[in-house]
């Protein structure tokens, strides 16, 4: 284990924990549910002001067009906020990518909007851990890293997107563009466990909507003339669930459609999620899905239109990724922070980055828990802890000692 040098002690000592907490409290006072464009715009302005303290260019990137399937089966545009990109020393031969997201799962109408101190070290509030606390870690770590002499030899991009919680569909191309050619990447999702455990390998994830069109008829007079779209949706759900195997899960989540009880329904939308552990499983599922659709269309005389797909590719642990995890563990040991990692069933932007061939550790954010619920909490001392960890990782990645 490489202990902290005098230079590294100086780097860590410069981290301002009070300023980090103040930022989190200010940022979490703004509702930034994924579709809340006014809240996301306010947050973007605050983040642009904060990250402009770093020696780079902040730019606003408009979201790519994204559609979804409404309950009636129509394809509609979704609302997404602008993304923030900071580029520092873009011509440096060695560059990194750091990513976070400003959106949360809590809409403006959700009752969970306020911050509450649970005890002297634990703050409850929307986005405190997932992941406005993580954004504060990015800023503090880079501010500290910039005082290292090693920083001048490297460059980096920071991406704070506005749609991670809904799959990063409007920022996927931007993630791929920024990941291209990077030596390493760090993503600031909260730790997998409150003790600081990192997420290692992750499955992929795909969200689909199957729009099923049948034929209506009177349920009493001539039901034989109808083609029941709800029945076809249920049939498809059962067939897809039967495709599960170790390393592949399928979750039929919802069926929309139908009308009065005395009408054979001519319309249904089946929504489902698939999580393949390996890329070849994702490919095999796509083939099996097409075959299931073909069989049901013929058997039940309906038409089926598929919308969606696997937007988060599986993220196995490659040799390069394991080396980056090893460096993070080494830095954690030097700081007195035991670091381990384990497989996770969740997905994030780290999946997209890894698919570009870039080694990534994607749980470099704060320690906390109960995310996506009104019990979400941040362990406040972890703000400075994780900023120190990232600053040290960046310093040593860049040849600093």
List pLDDT tens digits, range 210-260. Answer: 999 999 999 999 999 999 999 999 999 999 999 999 999 999 999 999 999
- β-pairing, 122-124 with 116-119? antiparallel
* Collapsed DSSP state (helix, strand, coil) of residue 188: strand
Predicted pLDDT of residue 5: 95
Measured in whole angstroms, the distance separating CA 272 from the mean position of its chain's CA atoms is: 18
For residues 26, 28, 30, 35, the Cα torsion angle rounded to the nearest 10 degrees is 150
Predicted pLDDT of residue 267: 98
Q: How far apart are CA 379 and CA 68, in angstroms?
A: 36
Q: What angle do CA 81, 84, 88 make, to 5 degrees?
A: 170
Mean pLDDT, the chain, integer: 97
Q: How far apart are CA 325 and CA 316, in angstroms?
A: 13
Q: Which of 254, 315, 318, 238 is nearest to 281 (CA)?
A: 315
Structure tokens at 357: 């061939």
Element (H, E) at 369: strand 368-369
6-202+315-397 and 205-312 agree in CATH topology: no
Reported as a single tens digit per residue, the pLDDT across 69-114 is 999 999 999 999 999 999 999 999 999 999 999 999 999 999 999 9
Distances (CA, A) of 3 to 9, 166, 300, 335: 10, 41, 68, 8
Q: How far apart are CA 50 and CA 139, in angstroms?
A: 8
- Kindly state the average pLDDT of the residues 267-284: 97
Q: Which of 342, 319, 332 is nearest to 390 (CA)?
A: 332
**pLDDT-derived band at 309, boundaries 50, 70, 90:** very high
% of the chain beyond a pLDDT of 70: 100
Reported as a single tens digit per residue, the pLDDT across 167-213 is 999 999 999 999 999 999 999 999 999 999 999 999 999 999 999 99
- Kindly state the average pLDDT of the residues 298-321: 97
Residue 152 in this model has a pLDDT that exceeds 90 = yes
**pLDDT-derived band at 118, boundaries 50, 70, 90:** very high
- Kindly state the average pLDDT of the residues 116-145: 98
% of the chain beyond a pLDDT of 90: 99
For residues 100, 274, 235, 70, the Cα torsion angle rounded to the nearest 10 degrees is 20
Predicted pLDDT of residue 2: 73
Predicted pLDDT of residue 70: 97
Q: Count CA atoms within 13 Å of residue 84 on its CB side.
A: 27
Structure tokens at 129: 């851990």
Predicted pLDDT of residue 188: 98
pTM: 0.96
Predicted pLDDT of residue 120: 97
Predicted pLDDT of residue 64: 98
Look up the CATH architecture of domain 205-312.
Answer: 2-Layer Sandwich (3.30)
Element (H, E) at 285: helix 279-300
Reported as a single tens digit per residue, the pLDDT across 329-373 is 999 999 999 999 999 999 999 999 999 999 999 999 999 999 999
Correct CATH for 6-202+315-397 of 3.90.190.20, 3.40.50.880, 3.40.1280.10, 3.40.630.10: 3.40.630.10
CB 202 within 8 A of CB 318: no
Q: Which residues on neighbouring strands pair with residue 368, listed in sequence order?
A: 378
- Kindly state the average pLDDT of the residues 43-62: 98
Residue 1 in this model has a pLDDT that exceeds 60 = no
Predicted pLDDT of residue 50: 98
**Quick one: DSSP state of residue 309?**
E
């Amino acid at each position: 284990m490489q202990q902290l040098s005098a230079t590294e002690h100086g780097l860590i000592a410069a981290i301002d924990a009070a300023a980090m907490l103040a930022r989190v409290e200010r940022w979490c006072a703004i509702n930034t549910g994924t579709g809340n464009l006014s809240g996301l715009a306010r947050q973007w302005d605050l983040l642009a002001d904060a990250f402009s303290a770093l020696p780079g260019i902040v730019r606003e990137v408009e979201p790519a067009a994204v559609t979804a399937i409404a309950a009636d089966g129509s394809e509609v545009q979704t609302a997404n906020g602008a993304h923030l990109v900071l580029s520092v020393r873009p011509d440096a031969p060695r560059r990194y990518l750091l990513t976070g997201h400003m959106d949360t799962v809590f809409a403006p109408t959700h009752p969970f909007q306020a911050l509450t101190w649970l005890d002297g070290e634990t703050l409850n509030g929307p986005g405190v851990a997932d992941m406005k606390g993580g954004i504060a870690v990015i800023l503090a770590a880079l501010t500290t890293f910039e005082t290292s002499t090693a920083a001048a030899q490297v460059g980096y991009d920071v991406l704070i997107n506005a749609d991670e919680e809904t799959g990063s569909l409007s920022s996927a191309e931007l993630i791929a563009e920024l990941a291209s050619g990077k030596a390493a990447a760090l993503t600031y999702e909260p730790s997998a466990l409150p003790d600081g455990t990192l997420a290692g390998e992750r499955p992929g994830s795909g969200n689909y909507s199957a729009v099923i069109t049948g034929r209506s008829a009177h349920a009493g007079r001539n039901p034989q003339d109808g083609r029941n779209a709800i029945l076809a949706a249920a049939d498809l759900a059962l067939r897809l669930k039967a495709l599960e195997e170790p390393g592949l899960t399928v979750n039929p989540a919802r069926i929309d459609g139908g009308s009065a009880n005395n009408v054979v329904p001519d319309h249904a939308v089946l929504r489902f999620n698939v999580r393949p552990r390996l890329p070849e499983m994702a490919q095999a599922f796509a083939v099996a899905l097409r075959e299931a659709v073909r069989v049901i269309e013929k058997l039940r005389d309906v038409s089926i239109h598929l919308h969606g797909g696997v937007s988060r590719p599986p993220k196995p642990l490659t040799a390069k990724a394991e080396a980056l995890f090893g460096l993070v563990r080494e830095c954690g040991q030097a700081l007195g922070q035991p670091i381990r990692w384990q497989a996770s069933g969740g997905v994030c932007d780290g999946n997209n980055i890894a698919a570009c061939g870039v080694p990534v550790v994607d749980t470099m954010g704060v320690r906390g828990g109960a995310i996506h619920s009104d019990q979400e909490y941040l362990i406040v001392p972890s703000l400075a802890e994780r900023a120190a960890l990232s600053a040290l990782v960046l310093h040593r990645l860049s040849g600093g000692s």
